[in-house]
């Protein structure tokens, strides 16, 4: 029996990235062909375009472009925390490249996103906070002098 993506996404999964929405959200397809929208846990990238009440953020287009170069058409592994879904129905995940690179942290290290904590998902909260502080101090990405 084919289970809906909503249920299958709760288990550790691999996806092929098919579309990058912005610097912290993307769509992927699982082995069964189901499309899954993924929001990276613990990071917040600037908006890459004006949406509703949110204006385009400084370094938003750069963050989206970087995530696109990093993930597009790549197979990624998802890992979950205490809550696997947000209020919008997106899968919440820590994302890893085939070589083991921790994407969430890499985005923060390079200044394409800042660390942010939403309860209850805080497994890597301290690591992401340290990376954010280091990125700020070094002027990486969005932390550069304007």
Q: Which residues are catalytic?
A: 39, 47, 90
d(CA 45, CA 14): 23
Give the up-direction half-sphere exposure of residue 21: CA atoms within 13 A in the CB hemisphere. 16
The DSSP bridge pattern shows strands 43-44 and 75-79 to be: unpaired
d(CA 32, CA 136): 41
Asked if 8 and 34 touch (Cβ cutoff 8 Å), the reply is yes
Cα-Cα-Cα-Cα dihedral sign, residues 29, 33, 37, 39: negative
d(CA 68, CA 19): 8
């Amino acid at each position: 029996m084919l289970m809906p993506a909503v249920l299958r996404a709760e288990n550790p999964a691999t996806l092929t990235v098919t579309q990058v929405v912005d610097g912290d959200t993307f769509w992927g397809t699982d082995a069964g062909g189901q499309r899954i929208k993924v929001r990276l846990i613990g990071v917040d990238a600037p908006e890459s375009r004006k949406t509703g009440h949110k204006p385009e953020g400084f370094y938003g287009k750069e963050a989206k472009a970087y995530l696109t170069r990093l993930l597009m058409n790549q197979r990624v592994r998802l890992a979950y925390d205490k809550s696997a879904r947000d209020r919008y129905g997106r899968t919440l995940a820590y994302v890893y490249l085939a070589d083991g690179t921790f994407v969430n942290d890499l985005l923060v290290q390079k200044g394409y996103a800042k660390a942010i904590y939403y309860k209850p998902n805080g497994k890597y909260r301290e690591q992401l906070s340290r990376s954010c502080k280091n990125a700020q101090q070094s002027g990486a990405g969005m932390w550069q002098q304007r």
